[in-house]
Amino acid sequence: MGSTKRTLKMPSNRGSSSFTRSLVLHFTVRRRFRPLVCDFFIEQITLPSDASAGIVLLFLLTLLLTNFMTNVSAVAIAFPIAAAMMQHYELGHLEVFLPVAFGASGSFLTPSSYQTHLMIMGPGNYSNKDFLKLGLPVLLVYSAVALWVLL
């Protein structure tokens, strides 16, 4: 039997062709232009010239994120930023990943930031204002001690 040669043809302008064309365009743009776009945005981000200021900003970013989502989600967002900062400032891995870990552990402000906060909110008749009123002083003390240890 002879071998048949198969070729990929673009569908005509009927039915799902616009969907197929958009998929082809999406993957073409993604493969060719994504590195260019990423490089452009990375070049536009300006980090502080001092590594200590960068560490403080990384801690505060992770701390902010972890109070509005789970600590695992906050780490998932902050981890690539920490890896980029490690390369930028030429720091060791502990110097950048410990602020992420400490920042992700500071979920004291909102009931949605940790599971046990939600578990006691209903039976204790606590409100968001109660968490903010009691969590803010704890968060400030925790942040001061954590940054003193980290820096």
For the chain, the distance separating the N- and C-terminal CA atoms, rounded to the nearest angstrom, is: 74
With respect to residue 124, please indicate whether it lies within any of the assigned structural domains.
Answer: yes
Please give the pLDDT value at position 11: 47
Kindly state whether residues 143 and 75 are assigned to the same domain. yes
pLDDT in tens, 59-98: 999 999 999 888 898 999 898 888 888 888 888 889 999 9
10-56 per-position pLDDT tens digit: 444 454 455 555 555 555 555 555 555 555 555 556 777 888 998 99
CA distances from 13 to 16, 18, 20, 23, 131 (A): 8, 7, 10, 15, 58
CA distance 139 to 126: 18
Q: Are residues 21 and 64 in the same domain?
A: no
Taking each continuous run of H as one helix and of E as one strand, the counts in the chain are: 6, 0
Examine the domain organization and report whether 34 and 56 are in the same domain: no
What total number of domains does the chain contain? 2
At 50 the pLDDT is 87
Would you say the C-alpha torsion 52, 109, 129, 131 has a positive or negative sign? negative
Q: Concatenated DSSP letters for 87-143?
A: HHHT--HHHHHHHHHHHHT---S-GGGSHHHHHHHTTTT--HHHHHHHHHHHHHHHH
Q: 62 and 121: one domain?
A: yes
* Co-location of 91 and 122 in the same domain: yes
Same-domain check for residues 69 and 25:
no
- Residue 130: closest CA among 117, 145, 143, 144: 117
This prediction's pTM: 0.69
Measured distance CA(64)–CA(150) in Å, rounded: 18
Containing domain of residue 38, as a range? 16-45
Is 128 in the same domain as 54?
yes
pLDDT of residue 81: 87
Question: pLDDT at residue 8 above 70?
Answer: no
The predicted-structure confidence for 122-144, as pLDDT tens digits, reads as follows: 898 999 899 999 999 999 999 99
Q: Note whether residue 22 is domain-resident.
A: yes
Per-residue pLDDT, 88? 84
